[in-house]
Structure 1
Amino acid sequence: MSALYLRHFGLRAAPFGITPDPAFFYAGNTRGALLEALVYAVEQGAGIIKLSGEVGSGKTMLCRMLAARLPAHIDVLYLLNPRLGPDEVMAALGDELGLQLDGQRADVVLRALHAELIARHAGGRQVVLLAEEAQAMPVDTLEALRLLTNLETASHKLLQIVLFGQPELDQTLALPQLRQFNERITQHFAMPRLPPALLPEYLQCRLAAAGRNAPLPFSLGALWLLTRTSQGTVRRVNILADKALLAAYADDAQQISARHLRQAIADSAFRPARRHGTWLACALAVVGLILAALLWR
């Protein structure tokens, strides 16, 4: 069915997959500016950098884009399991650096890490650790990472750290025992939600990246339902838009209607947000969607 579904909408690839693919990076809503700021901060040798955002806001995509955009002299390490204890995280970093440290004492591991980082610095290399889901890190592990940032030459940090986490990370870092860690963070960034006025632009960006060269196929009713249900979370937008496209394909329809969006919502765990605020606020949101949609037709 997938090939027929793609051909039906003039697509080369599925436009709303939830796997972070740099080819589908959306630079609007400050995401492009955030990427540039992250690249600059790493290039300048900032010690610890933190980016926080809600679940599904696009942090992993930004992490992948950062790794792809860094200059060739910067070695990128990944911390794949945030729940590791202090000794385990040191061993994991050793593995990322290509060291054989299994079964070694913690002090031996630390000396080996230091020696490797010194050697890479001497060879003109820069090392940065990208840690996703950092809100799940134990306090002791965060403290171990802070101690790693003490490894430095007279003028350069030997290891930089970029933390990507949910807002709970901010709460963890506010704990008294992590005061020293928090003070080492030189750059704080936050991922914004996708505002209603930018939803048509986001959808069009993804569709264009997937090969579609045609007006936005979502009706205004579908856009309104998608806005209310996604609540500005791009992962929800992707899941619901993909299901709505499938519903429209099953109807042999070229336009995604509100009915198709309702079918997508019924087939998901998401529900439209309750309507809060004044009538004026709701009316302004509708007007914004209409204007944005007209601009993308």
Structure 2
Amino acid sequence: MYQAHFGLIELPFTLTPNTSFYCDLESHKAAFEVLVTALEAGEGFIKVVGEVGTGKTLLCRKLLNELPEKYVTAYIPNPYLTPSEMRAHVARELQVDAPTEQSEQLLTQAIQERLVNISRDGKMAVIIVDEAQALPTETLEALRLISNLETESRKLLHIVLFGQPELDERLATREHRQLRQRITFSYQLQAMTLPEVARYISHRLHVAGYQGARLFPARVVGMLHRASRGIPRLVNILCHKVLLLCYGEGVYQVHPRHVRFAVADTEDVSLPTFQRWWWSLAGIAGVAVLLWLSWQQGWFTEYLS
């Protein structure tokens, strides 16, 4: 790909939530502090909501990686589970000795006994749910019931929900009012500001090993910020495409035309109406080059998977 062209040791703008590329953006930093503070306070439910592409999964992975040893975690990356499947998954994650008899009541009892033992060891059990907006209603209710497990003085289980704004919409309904009242800490992830986009791009290039001259001039960063609305995932997609175009042309700095070409080939970007037709026309040739380069380098495999 373009790694050798720019002297990179790895690709800087992939969509994989790689925590080594974590950039301490203000919104992510504040969200992480809320999570740590809430867990230390021993609260039951904690919620982090953000639009698609704002870095929820990356933040989730960072939390999992950096929680101290006193936390015993159960991670649910795919929450589209039935209540029975959810309990079984939690039991496996917490290393519960499952009963030989197939019984939901016995499994719940075994989970409670495991939670009591974790608490006696001076540790804390945490369930972390990614994409929580996809939880079926019955499973969301089962999760609330599991959170009822407690001693006379403290909760035995703490639950962190990461989700899209649809999660708030679901919790606002009458049927989920009991769970809504259990959420004591919440945070809304924000898109990046223009200075943060500049720092984000520079940070990822640095982590990827770039040591050359400035790749992204201020004007280009401004265009990327406007087109992406400051959403990290869209910034990654656009930056990856403009670097592919630079590589195809054999140049070592991103120009506005590269951004126009990349934008013309990208869904869900924001452009003023009066500019949209021009950017689309200007991108036709660039799209053809980008598609050819992407196909040759196998980039579609990652982004379509």
Report the TM-score when normalising by structure 2.
0.84
Q: Is the 8 A contact 1:46 1:160 kept in 2?
A: yes
Q: Secondary structure at the match of 2:26?
A: coil
Partner of 1:219: 217
Query: What is the deviation of 1:188?
Result: 0.7
Matches for 1:39-118 after TM superposition, within 5 Å: 39-99=36-96, 100=98, 104-118=102-116
Q: Is the 8 A contact 1:219 1:258 kept in 2?
A: no
Partner of 1:187: 185
Which moved further from structure 2: 144-153 or 48-57? 144-153
Partner of 1:35: 32
Cα separation, 2, equivalents of 1:161 and 1:101 = 24
Cα pair distance change 1:251/1:270, threshold 3 Å = farther
Partner of 2:303: none
Q: Secondary structure at the match of 2:127?
A: strand
Query: What is the deviation of 1:260?
Result: 1.4
Equivalent in 238, 241, 248 of residue 240 of structure 1: 238
Partner of 1:281: none
What stretches of structure 1 of length at least 5 have no aligned partner?
A: 277-297
Matches for 1:249-260 after TM superposition, within 5 Å: 249-260=247-258
Cα separation, 2, equivalents of 1:36 and 1:216 = 33
Query: What is the deviation of 1:125?
Result: 2.1
Query: What is the deviation of 1:82?
Result: 1.2
Deviation sequence 1:228-274 (CA, Å, 0-9, x none): 22112100100110111111011111101111122222333244332
Equivalent in 126, 132, 135 of residue 133 of structure 2: 135
Query: What is the deviation of 1:102?
Result: 7.8
Opposite residue 39 of structure 1, the aligned amino acid is V
The answer to whether 1:166 aligns with 2:169 is: no
Opposite residue 43 of structure 1, the aligned amino acid is E
Query: What is the deviation of 1:78?
Result: 0.8
Opposite residue 119 of structure 2, the aligned amino acid is H
Question: Size of the alignment, in residue pairs?
Answer: 273
Equivalent in 206, 213, 223 of residue 204 of structure 2: 206
Cα pair distance change 1:275/1:27, threshold 3 Å = farther
Cα separation, 2, equivalents of 1:168 and 1:240 = 26
Q: Is the 8 A contact 1:57 1:192 kept in 2?
A: yes
Deviation sequence 1:42-96 (CA, Å, 0-9, x none): 1221110000000000000100111111111111111132111222211111121
Which moved further from structure 2: 5-14 or 139-148? 5-14
Cα separation, 2, equivalents of 1:102 and 1:213 = 59
Cα separation, 2, equivalents of 1:172 and 1:91 = 24
Query: What is the deviation of 1:275?
Result: 5.5
Query: What is the deviation of 1:137?
Result: 0.9
Matches for 1:260-271 after TM superposition, within 5 Å: 260-271=258-269
Q: Secondary structure at the match of 1:273?
A: coil
Q: Secondary structure at the match of 1:129?
A: strand
Q: Secondary structure at the match of 2:87?
A: helix
Q: Is the 8 A contact 1:231 1:273 kept in 2?
A: no
Deviation sequence 1:129-150 (CA, Å, 0-9, x none): 1101111111221111111111
Deviation sequence 1:258-294 (CA, Å, 0-9, x none): 1112222233324433259xxxxxxxxxxxxxxxxxx
Cα pair distance change 1:253/1:103, threshold 3 Å = farther
Cα separation, 2, equivalents of 1:40 and 1:76 = 17
What stretches of structure 2 of length at least 5 have no aligned partner?
A: 275-305
Partner of 2:301: none
Q: Secondary structure at the match of 2:151?
A: coil
Query: What is the deviation of 1:196?
Result: 2.2
Query: What is the deviation of 1:214?
Result: 4.0
Cα pair distance change 1:141/1:54, threshold 3 Å = same
Q: Secondary structure at the match of 2:72?
A: strand
Cα pair distance change 1:236/1:18, threshold 3 Å = same
